[in-house]
Amino acid sequence: MPRTVSDGGEELPGDDISSRTGSHRRADNTHAGYKVGFPPNKGAFAEFSDGVKETFFSDDPLRAFKDQPKSKKLWLGLQHVFPILDWGRGYTFGKFKGDLIAGLTIASLCIPQDIGYAKLANLKPQYGLYSSFVPPLIYALMGSSRDIAIGPVAVVSLLLGTLLQEEIDPVKNPVEYTSLAFTATFFAGITQFGLGFFRLGFIIEFLSHAAIVGFMAGAAVTIALQQLKGFLGIAVFTKKSDIISVMKSVWGNVHHGWNWQTILIASSFLAFLLAAKYIAKKNKKLFWVSAIAPLISVIISTLCVFLTRADKQGVAIVRHIDQGINPNSFHRIYFSGPNLMIGFRIGVVAGMVALTEAIAIGRTFAAMKDYQIDGNKEMVALGTMNIVGSFTSCYVATGSFSRSAVNYMAGCRTAVSNVVMAIVVMLTLLWITPLFKYTPNAILASIIINAVLGLIDFEAAYLLWKVDKMDFLACLGAFFGVIFASVEYGLLIAVAISLGKIILQVTRPRTALLGNLPRTLIYRNVEQYPEATKVPGVLIVRVDSAIYFTNSNYVKERILRWLRDEEEQQQEHKLSKTEFLIVELSPVTDIDTSGIHALEELLKALEKRKIQLILANPGPTVIQKLRASKFTELIGDDKIFLSVGEAVKKLAPKAENV
């Protein structure tokens, strides 16, 4: 009986092992009676439906609904949309204690951060607080992560502020600017919801880890430079975000624009915040020191300014934060007119960046606690909360890494910690906001600088350099794009480099020359295993990628180049000529018509040299397409083998190791 080679078979696609028949002569007859099998033919519809299922429904989301009564299916459907209905049934007072402590802790961190991040987005301070009230409540109902803390974040705030002020001046037209921010938030939510609902979450995977590391580091430097306005007390500051414009603005005001009282406040409290972060890093049990430090800084600095009336000496202060919870903003969203498309464009960009950050954070903490999150469900939850947020005076909210880390360290058990945080923010909006009147902008600058320093991951950049120089170049490209151009261009560079790397790998796949490990039937890459010996009269080449129209010609030319190099060595050392060219196809998971055409051309080129083409271990998809195109008839079934070892044994028996 013929045997089909499959993922569970002896030869795995992508394996570096060309033959697993054993390492000694006793394995000579392992493959006796076996040959490459042909999988059953599938109809066009079945093949298409399988492809769609694997692409969009690889996690089989409907498996829980199988063989269930209608009432059960309805309940499961509600649980799928609102996970709180599932985990809420097992919620206990013990879990609530952990969530209460975590919620209060992240609230103490988020309140001063929110005020600062709103300024980063060129919005009034209350909008930052609004964005930590409604969105976390929606996420608690629909999100699947237990640890992520929702609210405004530095990178998205900077991105939103940069893109919005290019269209509308926030100083001259604050009402129109704020309305455009709500419009962008609405479309950010629509983008996120759409990607999750239509299960297109894999799109965000095109932004590589290396590009994200560089982009985040560049954004952190840019944000920190932007805070020099508040840190130094400069009144007139550039609206551009590139490092050259910022430094010109800083040094242009050095003689008359800097305020020493402001610098004293900012530098003193920045040192305090950094010291608190260092203490928390050294002793994990003291994580709360770093978490509560920003709020302590705000309270002390506000009290100092109020008592000394430093605001009359040029120290800029917050002055006013609207009291009360989120007002309705549905009527302020642009659903028509020229600002509609502007809001859509900005919203898509901001939504994608926010989504990338939130999913990365959610997966990180889920892995640490050994549970799974549903990426598409997360996108729906994030999208819904931003859509609702845009109706309630919020701007784009997402998962915050610094707050999520504190949430995790504080012992959160479920998303109820977000609810606790939201309630504290609500109480702050109702009763405490007038107390922030004398809060100096300098302390907000110090808090933001302290927060964004954590986005610069030196260890990750060094690891990229050690492991993959191309990844490191992608990281540098995104980093320099952000700091020398803008956040928008940096993001475009990051995406372009990520796509460029994919294209390069697809169009120029790796190929390897295989040799036989002494006293075995195993064939490995001769570069990785220098002791591997070539088989006289046989050239063995492995293709390490699917063969498509993008790389088919390169694969053919590369194999022929291997052959030319081998022939030159044979002439130089007077060795026996090549009679057989074995192409190891284990890693080749798929092939298209261009790839088959390339194999046909390779076969013709070899026939002119009187060399026989041999195929070893083609996978089920590849062998099925080769048979459908009648290439198997062209080459002959006797030229297709289950393994390289079997091919060598039959075609060049004298070359076998003893």
What is the number of other CB atoms lying within 10 angstroms of the CB of residue 201? 20
For every residue of 500-555, which 3-state class applies, written as one string? HHHHHHHHCCCEEEEEECCCCCCEEECCCCCCCECCCCEEEEEECCCECCCCHHHH
- Residue 581's SS3 state is strand
Amino acid 26: pLDDT: 40
As a dihedral over the C-alpha atoms of residue 624, residue 626, residue 630, residue 636, rounded to 10 degrees, the angle is: -110
As a dihedral over the C-alpha atoms of residue 108, residue 114, residue 116, residue 122, rounded to 10 degrees, the angle is: -170
208-240 confidence digits (pLDDT tens)? 889 999 999 999 999 999 999 999 999 889 988
Q: Which of 294, 270, 290 is nearest to 282 (CA)?
A: 290
Helix then strand then coil, in percent of the chain rounded to 5, is 65, 5, 30
State pTM to two decimals.
0.85
- Residue 641's SS3 state is strand
Residue 349 carries which side chain, given as an amino acid letter? V
What is the number of other CB atoms lying within 10 angstroms of the CB of residue 502? 12
DSSP-assigned letters across all residues of 409-441? HTT--STHHHHHHHHHHHHIIIIIGGGGTT-BH
Amino acid 653: pLDDT: 66
Amino acid 22: pLDDT: 40
Amino acid 654: pLDDT: 54
Beta-carbon contacts of residue 158 (< 8 Å; ≥ 6 apart)? 120, 121, 219, 222, 223, 226, 241, 487
What is the number of other CB atoms lying within 10 angstroms of the CB of residue 372? 10
Residue 230 carries which side chain, given as an amino acid letter? G
Amino acid 28: pLDDT: 42
Amino acid 33: pLDDT: 52
Residue ranges of the chain with per-residue pLDDT less than 50: 1-32, 657-658
The two structure tokens encoding residue 416: 């109820």
Residues belonging to the chain = 658
Amino acid 62: pLDDT: 78
Q: Which of 395, 471, 336 is nearest to 153 (CA)?
A: 395
Q: Which residue has the tokens 């952000």?
A: 482
Amino acid 19: pLDDT: 41
| Sign of the alpha-carbon torsion through 68, 69, 70, 74 | negative
Amino acid 657: pLDDT: 44
What is the number of other CB atoms lying within 10 angstroms of the CB of residue 389? 28
Q: What are the angstrom distances between the C-alpha of 200 and each of 191, 328, 358, 388, 469?
A: 11, 31, 16, 22, 30
For every residue of 197-218, which 3-state class applies, written as one string? HCCCHHHHHHCCHHHHHHHHHH
DSSP-assigned letters across all residues of 112-175? HHHHHHHHHTT--HHHHHHTTTHHHHHHHHH---SS-EEE--HHHHHHHHHHHHTTS-TTT-HH
End-to-end CA distance of the chain: 30
Residue 583 DSSP label: E
Percent share of the chain, pLDDT over 70: 94
Amino acid 181: pLDDT: 98
| Sign of the alpha-carbon torsion through 422, 427, 433, 436 | negative
Residue 572 contacts residue 528 (beta carbons within 8 Å):
no
Q: CA 384, CA 145: separation in Å to the nearest integer?
A: 15
